[in-house]
Amino acid sequence: MEMMSENMGYDRAITTFSPDGRLFQVEYAREAVKKGSSVVSICLNKKEKMIVFCTRKRQSNIVLSIEKIFKIDEHIAAASAGLIADARLLIEEARVKSQQNQILYDEPISVFSLAKSIADKKQVYTQYAGVRPYGVSLLIGGINHEAVLYETDPSGFMMQAKARAIGQNADKVNEFLEKEYKEDLDINSAIKLAVNAMKKSEEKTKIEETNVWTLTEKGINEYSTDELKKILD
């Protein structure tokens, strides 16, 4: 009983490491991400500077739909897996930071700076009592001089990638992306790859349930079901 009591203490305190060096609250936040529906993103620079975002639409009825892809600025967008409420708060702060940069420096914020600010905020929430880690991972993609893609997880860890999946069955999807990704993909091939990667996570996903956005130098485009069917056919 004494050992169980000690473990529960480490389990509940965000500021206390367990004897084997773990922060359980951060690990629980990562579990929240793993239970979220899959998100796939692909970054390309060869034929065209472009980011593709692909998610599954979550609709519980004809009234309620859950947004998982967000526009941050004209040149940056993000997609989330995990707690949507946490994602929405971080996205709002990212939008404010992006506009502040435009006002102060008269230029668009760099994708790296924005992703790093989000990762830093997440990391701060792993340090203090009375708060909990953000239970969400974000794929943040944008175009400055080139297209770039970053992932931030609940611990504040940040990494750059060319193709990445988060959420349910992410390990399986990332293995598929490693094998199939090519730097010279065109826009239609990249969309096909993203949709096929989604199917690796959730096999029963229908095209009507698939949400695809692309971000290019021309701006952001959200694809309708009919447009996706034409591309996939």
187-224 pLDDT tens trace: 999 999 999 999 888 767 788 889 999 999 999 999 99
Mean pLDDT of the region 145-149:
96
Joined together, the tokens standing for residue 71 give 């526009």
Instruction: State residue 9's pLDDT score.
Output: 65
Strand locations in the chain (E): 39-44, 50-56, 58-59, 65-66, 69-73, 76-82, 136-143, 147-152, 158-161, 163-166, 210-216, 219-222
Confidence of residue 130 (pLDDT cuts 50, 70, 90): confident
State what percent of residues in the chain have pLDDT above 70: 92
Who has greater pLDDT, 191 or 57?
A: 191
Mean pLDDT of the region 87-114:
97
Residue 10 has pLDDT above 90, yes or no: no
Low-confidence winner among 66-75, 87-96, 116-125, 196-205 (lowest mean pLDDT):
196-205
pTM (predicted TM-score): 0.91
Cβ atoms 141, 151 nearer than 8 A: no
158-181 pLDDT tens trace: 999 999 999 999 999 999 999 999
What phi, psi does 106 have (nearest 5°)?
55, 40
Cβ atoms within 10 Å of 184's Cβ, excluding its own: 9
C-alpha closest to that of 54 among 150, 216, 161, 190:
190
Instruction: State residue 63's pLDDT score.
Output: 46
What domains lie within the chain, and their CATH numbers? 32-232 (3.60.20.10)
Cβ atoms 159, 192 nearer than 8 A: no
